[in-house]
Structure 1
Amino acid sequence: MERVDVAIVGGGPAGACAAEQAAAHGAETVLFEQGVPREDRVELGPDSTDAAGMLDYWIDIMDFDYREIPDDVIHRELEGTAFIGPESRVELTTTGIDASYPEFGYTFHRARMDDWLHERATDAGADLRIGTAVSDLETDLRASSPNGPTHTLTLSNGDQLEAQYVVLADGPQRRITLDALDQFTAPGRSVSDYLSPPEANHIAYQEYREFPEELFAEFEDWLKFWWGYMPGETAYPWIFPNDGTVARVGLTMPIGMELEDVDNPGSYKLLEPTDDSLPSGSEYISRLLELEYGDEYDVEADIPIVEDRGKSKGTETYPISSTRPIDSPVGANVAVAGGAMGTTSAFHEGGYHVAVRSGKIAGRLAATDSLENYNERWKHAIGDEILRNVAFADIVADYEPDDWDWAFDVVNDMQGNSAENVLISKRYSAGLDATKIVAAYKRRKFKYRDGRYVQLAEDDFFY
């Protein structure tokens, strides 16, 4: 049987960065990625579907020098973001967090970024096996290895491989992670209770659309998000400008939500009185474009789908983990990284940056026989980001359209003539409504302090 030091399941940003770091620190490293086709990628690669926007401080979280990222990865530098409510809006031109990148952020080509991370891993000496999936993982907790438990991975072709350490980085779908971690839970409990894809996640859908030049110019260096337009916790449409006059128009919404679950369907601009069910992702996008631009443009003729992009004919559907993260069973020589552990967020649309960083940490520690420190190290590196997202998501969980308008009006009053992120910067004017928002944010942050945003702790695993 083939034996390696570190085996990595999944070739997205977390897996690729784990492979690069493990190999760079001297470990014999293999990465398995089942591989999916894309319209804009010649070879098979990871499931590179994401809205793919990067804020300034996220680059620092990834622990990259922004100058080393290839130019062909970046689509457009951004000046700011607009949060649009039914009757009010907020515009920000700063994240309010110190960062080395000099602009607000940028949009980028996710597949090219993934391919660059793969090149780095290969250059470091990792063995990347794209097109080979892992079908099963079993851990021997009583192995005679001097470094503790070992793992047997069964591959899609029937072959088996033994590894000293495993990094699970199979994204929010968690094809292997759920069963693999259930080896270390108490009888009657399952990791699915915390990370089940249908129950604790969102689904995202987006289309690549070509816009008329004069219309594209209105948002060519801005991100746009519409809040309170469609029902569901952290459910919203967006527009991300790409290269040329192409933009990604998409949305995120809870999995399995039904129309009868909506308390006040008539208050949402993207629902219609004749609806007998919630619209599909494509229908939501058509309604958004018609609402915003239909008075001046024939949407389907003037803003067509670009079919040679994305995962399939200019469209892509992908899961987003919207649950709180879990610790890893490091005593079993297992680290879970990126979306598989719940670090991505439906609130801020994705989590490429935290996936990269958690993968880097997992790979380095596995290669240096220091994996017992993983849970502490990832919290130190990305814990503040997780805490912010969990706190904000909690605050807006039950918001309806009127609540978004109220909140945006309050934030505008707090900002005055600036465009800063007043909740982050803490520079705001006093007032009853402002105090309510800030107090709610502080309460959530206090509730989840000292890593309490973790919903399955290291001590909950059994070895």
Structure 2
Amino acid sequence: MERVDVAIVGGGPAGTSAAERAASHGAETVLFEQGVPREDRDALGPDSTDAAGILDYWIDIMDFDYREIPDDVIHRELEATEFIGPSSALELTTTGIDASYPKFGYTFHRTRMDDWLHERATDAGAEIRIGTSVTDLETNLRASSPKGPTHTLTLSSGDQLEAQYVVLADGPQRRVTIDALDQFTPPGRSISNHLSPPEANHIAYQEYREFPPELFEEFDDRLKFWWGYIPGETAYPWVFPNDGTVARVGLTMPIGMRLEDVDNPSSYVLLEPDDETLPSGSEYITRLLEREYGDEYDVETDIPIAEDRGKSKGTETYPISSTRPIDSPVGANIAVAGGAMGATSAFHEGGYHVAVRTGKIAGRLAATDSLEHYNELWKRAIGDEILRNVAFADIVEDYEPDDWDRAFDVVTDMQADGADDVLLSKRYSAGLDAMKILAGYKKRKYRYRNGNYVQFVEDQYLY
């Protein structure tokens, strides 16, 4: 049987970052990626789907010098983001967090970024096997290895491989992660209770659209989000500018939500009185574009889908983790990274940055026989980001359209009052509503302090 030091399941940003770190620290490393076809990639590769935007401080979370990221990865440098409610709007020109990158952020070519991470891993000495997936993982807790438990991976080819350490980075779908971790969970405490994709994820849909040049100029240096336009917790459409005059127009929403689950459906801009079910993602996008630009443009003719992009003729559907993270069973020599562990978030449209960083930490520790420190170190690296995300997600959990308008008005007042970091500021002079938002934010952050945002902790595993 083939044997390696570190086996990695999944070739997205977490997996390839883990492979690069493990190989660069001298470990014999192999990564398995089942591979999917894309219109913008000649060969099989990872499922390179998300809105593909990076904020300034996210680059520091990834532990990259922004100058090392290839120029052809970057689409647009950003100056701002716009949040649009049914009746109010808000522009932010700063994240309010110190960062080395000099702009607000950038949009990027997700496929090229993933391929660059693959090149880094290969250059470091990792072996990447695209087109080979892992179908089963069994752990031998009583292995004779001086380094503790070992693992047998069964591959789609039928072959098997033994590894000393495993990094699970199979994304929000968690095809291998859930069964692999359930080897160590108490009866009735399956990891699927916490990370089952239909319950723990949102679904996202996006289209690559070619805009008229004069229209594209309206958002060529900014992200746009529409809040309170569609129902569902952290459900919203967006526009992200890409190369040329192409933009990604998409949305995220809870999986399995039904129209009968919606309170006050008439209050949502993109729902119509004769709807018998919630619209599909493509219908939502058509309605958004018609509402925003239909007075001056024929949407399907003037803003067509760019069919040479994405997974399928200019469109793509993909899951986004929308839950809180779990610890890894490091006592079994397993680390879980990125979307597979629930570290990414639908609140900020995925989480490429936390996937990269957790992958880097897992790969380095696995290669240096120090994986027992993983749960401590990933919290130190991304804990503040997770804390912000879960606190904000809690605050807006039950927001309806009027709540978004009210919140945007409050933040606008706070900006006028001189609070640059409007979401984290301690300035209360913008009024009672501002005090309520800030107090609610502080209360939720206090609830989740000291890693209490973790929903399945390390000592709950049984070895």
Given that 2:199 and 2:255 are in contact with CA atoms closer than 8 Å, whether structure 1 keeps it comes out as yes
Aligned residue type for 2:422: V
Q: Distance in 1 between matches of 2:368 and 2:123?
A: 19
> 1:411-433 deviations in whole A, cap 9, x for unaligned?
11111076833123445534211
> 1:13-54 deviations in whole A, cap 9, x for unaligned?
000000000000010000000000000001110000010000
3-state SS of the aligned residue for 1:423? coil
Q: Distance in 1 between matches of 2:424 and 2:156?
A: 47
Corresponding residue for residue 162 of structure 1: 162
* Distance verdict in 2 for CA 1:178–1:376, change over 3 Å: same
Aligned residue type for 2:272: E
Corresponding residue for residue 193 of structure 1: 193
Gaps of 5+ in 2: none
Q: Distance in 2 between matches of 1:427 and 1:225?
A: 26
Q: Distance in 2 between matches of 1:419 and 1:39?
A: 44
Q: Distance in 2 between matches of 1:206 and 1:427?
A: 38
Matched, 1:422 2:422: yes
Give the drift of 1:262. Answer: 0.2
Corresponding residue for residue 243 of structure 2: 243
Corresponding residue for residue 140 of structure 1: 140
1:272-287 map, 5 Å: 272-287=272-287
Given that 2:82 and 2:225 are in contact with CA atoms closer than 8 Å, whether structure 1 keeps it comes out as yes
Corresponding residue for residue 438 of structure 1: 438
4+ aligned runs moved over 4 Å, structure 1: none
Corresponding residue for residue 354 of structure 1: 354
Corresponding residue for residue 115 of structure 1: 115
Matched, 1:303 2:303: yes
Q: Distance in 2 between matches of 1:210 and 1:136?
A: 42
Given that 1:335 and 1:362 are in contact with CA atoms closer than 8 Å, whether structure 2 keeps it comes out as yes
Corresponding residue for residue 323 of structure 1: 323
3-state SS of the aligned residue for 2:138? strand
Corresponding residue for residue 64 of structure 2: 64
Given that 2:39 and 2:313 are in contact with CA atoms closer than 8 Å, whether structure 1 keeps it comes out as yes
3-state SS of the aligned residue for 2:423? helix
Matched, 1:21 2:49: no
* Distance verdict in 2 for CA 1:417–1:289, change over 3 Å: farther
> 1:185-234 deviations in whole A, cap 9, x for unaligned?
00122000000000111000000000001100011001000000000000
Given that 1:195 and 1:342 are in contact with CA atoms closer than 8 Å, whether structure 2 keeps it comes out as yes
Corresponding residue for residue 448 of structure 1: 448
Q: Distance in 2 between matches of 1:140 and 1:9?
A: 18
> 1:258-310 deviations in whole A, cap 9, x for unaligned?
00000110000000000000000000000000000001100000000000001
Q: Distance in 2 between matches of 1:342 and 1:183?
A: 19
RMSD: 0.9
Aligned residue type for 1:221: D
Q: Distance in 1 between matches of 2:109 and 2:349?
A: 15
Identity %: 85
Matched, 1:314 2:310: no
Q: Distance in 2 between matches of 1:3 and 1:414?
A: 59
Aligned residue type for 2:59: I
Aligned residue type for 1:261: D
Given that 1:91 and 1:419 are in contact with CA atoms closer than 8 Å, whether structure 2 keeps it comes out as no
> 1:57-79 deviations in whole A, cap 9, x for unaligned?
00000000000000000000000
Given that 2:417 and 2:430 are in contact with CA atoms closer than 8 Å, whether structure 1 keeps it comes out as no
Corresponding residue for residue 211 of structure 2: 211
3-state SS of the aligned residue for 2:347? coil
Q: Distance in 1 between matches of 2:424 and 2:382?
A: 16
Aligned residue type for 2:348: H
Given that 1:202 and 1:322 are in contact with CA atoms closer than 8 Å, whether structure 2 keeps it comes out as yes
1:162-181 map, 5 Å: 162-181=162-181
Q: Distance in 1 between matches of 2:248 and 2:428?
A: 34
Q: Distance in 1 between matches of 2:401 and 2:287?
A: 17
> 1:232-260 deviations in whole A, cap 9, x for unaligned?
00000000000100000000000000000
* Distance verdict in 2 for CA 1:418–1:302, change over 3 Å: farther
Matched, 1:105 2:97: no
Gaps of 5+ in 1: none
Corresponding residue for residue 367 of structure 1: 367
Aligned residue type for 1:127: E
Corresponding residue for residue 382 of structure 1: 382
> 1:112-164 deviations in whole A, cap 9, x for unaligned?
00000000000000000011000000000110100000000000000000000
Corresponding residue for residue 230 of structure 1: 230
Q: Distance in 1 between matches of 2:48 and 2:125?
A: 23
Corresponding residue for residue 268 of structure 2: 268
3-state SS of the aligned residue for 1:422? coil
Given that 1:93 and 1:420 are in contact with CA atoms closer than 8 Å, whether structure 2 keeps it comes out as no
Given that 1:203 and 1:320 are in contact with CA atoms closer than 8 Å, whether structure 2 keeps it comes out as yes
Given that 2:419 and 2:425 are in contact with CA atoms closer than 8 Å, whether structure 1 keeps it comes out as no
Aligned residue type for 1:253: M
Q: Distance in 2 between matches of 1:412 and 1:384?
A: 25
Q: Distance in 2 between matches of 1:218 and 1:48?
A: 27
Q: Distance in 2 between matches of 1:87 and 1:228?
A: 10
How many residues are aligned here? Answer: 463
Aligned residue type for 1:359: G
Given that 1:422 and 1:428 are in contact with CA atoms closer than 8 Å, whether structure 2 keeps it comes out as no
Aligned residue type for 1:311: K
3-state SS of the aligned residue for 2:83? strand
Corresponding residue for residue 395 of structure 2: 395
Aligned residue type for 1:107: T
